[in-house]
Amino acid sequence: MTVLGKKALNKQLSAKRVSWAGALAASLILMPGILAGNPVLAQQKAERNSLTYGELIKKTEKGEVAKVELDEAEHVAKVYLVGQKDTPIQVKLLEQNTELINRLKEKNVDFAEVSSANSRAAVGLLINLMWILPLVALMLLFLRRSTNASSQAMNFGKSRARFQMEAKTGVKFDDVAGVEEAKEELQEVVTFLKQPERFTAVGARIPKGVLLIGPPGTGKTLLAKAIAGEAGVPFFSISGSEFVEMFVGVGASRVRDLFKKAKENAPCLIFIDEIDAVGRQRGAGIGGGNDEREQTLNQLLTEMDGFEGNTGIIIIAATNRPDVLDAALLRPGRFDRQVIVDAPDLKGRLDILKVHARNKKIDPAVSLDAIARRTPGFTGADLANLLNEAAILTARRRKEAITILEIDDAVDRVVAGMEGTALVDSKSKRLIAYHEVGHALVGTLLKDHDPVQKVTLIPRGQALGLTWFTPNEEQGLISRAQLKGRITSILGGRAAEEVVFGKPEVTTGAGDDLQKVTNLARQMVTRFGMSTLGPLSLENQSGEVFLGRDWMNKSEYSEEIAAKIDAQVREIISNSYQTAKSILEQNRIALEHLVDLLSDQETIEGELFRKIVAEHAQVADEKIAVSH
């Protein structure tokens, strides 16, 4: 439709709206007249059923009149003739009706005076009320809305914290596992609240604030619930984002109201989740001015450790962005303790799995220790999700208990995504098999690499095939040899494509792999000092945006150094790629055998994969010994 056509259609629609509005208004105007009756029709009806004054007197003298009702206000008489008592006849009266009344008395005709003024007044009042009542209802509706708006405006400054006199969260310290150091720190806070005399006797002062720091899913909010469940004191919980509103001053007012309520219920606990929403570094706003978030933070700083102080109130806050918090918020006297809640180690993962396995039916053959070893880097939330996914798969497969098969599938789903449809036998499937076996074979034959866990051609998420490597032990520090081994293994997929099909046939399947190796190699050069440039840190881990520091990410080195960095990155990746190609060329028989097996079975477990590689390596060594 053209623009002119749209305009014409809009005009027609607006004209129809106007016509409908006019019809509605006209009907409202005519409604009282309709209800009051049509005067023309009433006049015609009256003319058909009427007598003259003289005819009435004659009929009275003849004895044909049975009853007469006189309406002096309207000068009308309703005459009921003999034999027609149901249908009265109207007669117009004179100003003085003495003669008619005398005739009625002489003939003993029943007559009486009836006034219609009251009924007409009632009808008029009813018609007027039909206009007034809707207007009154409309006015009351507007008044009610304005009252609600004003009451909401008055309540903007009230704290939205959820308050419980004794927080029954259903969570105790026994329900929290994998963060033993953090639990010890926080158990002291509970003891402070329950038995303060143990600490005050030796001059110890109760901490004012505890800041829980850690990545998402490690159990910060769960720890706060455990503290609330253990302490048995009044508990306030609120999110940092609930302080901030579009109106200036509301956040600071809510902070004041929160601490006022807390002082009335001291000793008590205040839990502020995601405090980075309100506690970001001041001066980060562009242009300065009266920043609402900064005013809220200033009020929070004053309430935590200002002129008046707050005795008996312990503030627990949680964040996964401690780097953006204001320095004044982190100093002793406000947040006296900063508790790190990090991803659990092997023992912590095992304890977490035991907690979440309490209410699940798990087959006795399933080893929780083996699951803990398979899941390095998993947080508490990841492990809870893992067992829940396994339980869902068990119910879907109509089994009575969770077996290791459901656990394996759940791990794959959590790590890589939902399982897709397996590929049919084709050139594409075999090419993906070479790619995945290239990763696994290079990683297995490298000395400083994690052992392979599984190789599969079953698509998951957006990946058409996957290769998992699982470390034997917890890795805190990574060596240069391990990083180069990872780069070489990641390049093994592209190297296998080139070794088998040649350079013209390499595919786009290595796009994500190349991004990973480039990032790793650049970090080796610019952050870890693992190149010929020497032990220099040339780049930060991440550049924060608008934190009141630098307006723009500026280069920390010269163009000459930048060129050397690029050359070093290229050299590391090129050498690793040549190493991967050399390994695959030397083990071409093992590569072909594993590809045939993977194409047939679609999944090879790590133990079987390593066994096949070891057998081929032994055969190769024997051939070399015989040749010598």
Judged by DSSP in three states, 82 sits in coil
**Four-residue CA torsion sign, 448, 408, 348, 209:** positive
| DSSP code of residue 359 | T
Whole-number Å distance between alpha carbons of 525 and 516 = 15
Maximum CA extent, the chain: 162
Nearest to 103 by CA among 60, 54, 59, 72: 60
Q: Which residue has the higher pLDDT, 370 or 282?
A: 370
Give the pLDDT score at 309: 63
In this predicted structure, the answer to whether residue 387 has a pLDDT above a threshold of 90 is yes
Q: Which residue has the higher pLDDT, 181 or 49?
A: 181
Residue with tokens 């003939």: 107
Selected from 3.10.150.10, 3.40.50.300, 1.20.20.10, 1.20.58.760, the CATH number assigned to the domain covering 427-541+555-627 reads: 1.20.58.760
* Of 56-60, 97-101, 314-318, highest mean pLDDT: 314-318
* Chain region(s) in the chain for CATH 3.30.720.210: 40-115
pTM score: 0.66
Give the pLDDT score at 247: 57
State whether CATH 2.40.50.140 applies to domain 40-115: no
Give the pLDDT score at 13: 43
State whether CATH 3.40.50.2300 applies to domain 162-340: no
Q: Which CATH number describes the domain made up of 346-416?
A: 1.10.8.60
Residue pLDDT, tens place only, 1-31? 444 344 444 444 444 444 444 444 444 444 4
Neighbours of 24 (CB within 10 A): 10
What confidence category does residue 580 fall into, taking pLDDT thresholds of 50, 70 and 90?
A: very high
* Chain region(s) in the chain for CATH 3.40.50.300: 162-340
In this predicted structure, the answer to whether residue 153 has a pLDDT above a threshold of 70 is no
At residue 191's C-alpha, the angle toward residues 186 and 196, to 5°, is 130
- Mean pLDDT to the nearest integer, 298-323: 81
CB 368 within 8 A of CB 354: yes
DSSP assignment of 286-332, as one string?
Answer: TT-S--HHHHHHHHHHHHHHSSS--TTEEEEEEES-GGGB-HHHHST
- Mean pLDDT to the nearest integer, 38-64: 64
What confidence category does residue 42 fall into, taking pLDDT thresholds of 50, 70 and 90?
A: very low
- Mean pLDDT to the nearest integer, 505-518: 90
- Mean pLDDT to the nearest integer, 177-192: 82
Residue pLDDT, tens place only, 416-470? 777 777 777 778 888 999 999 999 999 999 988 888 888 988 888 778 888 888 8
In this predicted structure, the answer to whether residue 550 has a pLDDT above a threshold of 60 is no
- Lookup: tokens for 548: 């009141």
Residue pLDDT, tens place only, 212-270? 998 888 888 888 888 878 877 788 888 877 776 655 567 788 888 888 888 888 788 88
Active site residue 245: no
Q: Which residue has the higher pLDDT, 17 or 314?
A: 314
In this predicted structure, the answer to whether residue 85 has a pLDDT above a threshold of 90 is no
In this predicted structure, the answer to whether residue 522 has a pLDDT above a threshold of 90 is yes
- Mean pLDDT to the nearest integer, 143-155: 59
- Give the 3-state DSSP-derived string for 56-67, with helices as H, strands as E and coil as C: HHHHHHHCCEEE
**Least confident residue range of 116-120, 126-130, 513-517, 616-620:** 116-120
| DSSP code of residue 527 | T
**Least confident residue range of 19-28, 362-371, 384-393:** 19-28
State the pairing for strand pair 110-113/162-164: unpaired
For residue 606, give every residue at least 6 positions away whose Cβ sits within 8 Å of its Cβ, in sequence order, or none. Answer: 451, 452, 453, 454, 455, 468, 470
- Lookup: tokens for 496: 């296998």
- Cα of 60 vs its chain's centroid, Å: 92
Give the pLDDT score at 6: 43
**Least confident residue range of 250-254, 505-509, 566-570:** 250-254
In this predicted structure, the answer to whether residue 573 has a pLDDT above a threshold of 90 is yes
Mean pLDDT of the chain: 78
In this predicted structure, the answer to whether residue 415 has a pLDDT above a threshold of 60 is yes
In this predicted structure, the answer to whether residue 132 has a pLDDT above a threshold of 60 is yes
- Mean pLDDT to the nearest integer, 557-565: 88
Residue pLDDT, tens place only, 524-535? 999 898 988 888
In this predicted structure, the answer to whether residue 484 has a pLDDT above a threshold of 90 is yes
Identified catalytic residue from 242, 303, 389, 436 = 436
Give the pLDDT score at 525: 92
Give residue 556's identity as a one-letter amino acid code: E
Give the pLDDT score at 46: 46
Give the pLDDT score at 76: 79
- Mean pLDDT to the nearest integer, 44-51: 56
* Chain region(s) in the chain for CATH 1.20.58.760: 427-541+555-627
Give the pLDDT score at 65: 79
Report percent pLDDT > 90 for the chain.
Answer: 16
Give the pLDDT score at 73: 66
Give the pLDDT score at 2: 42
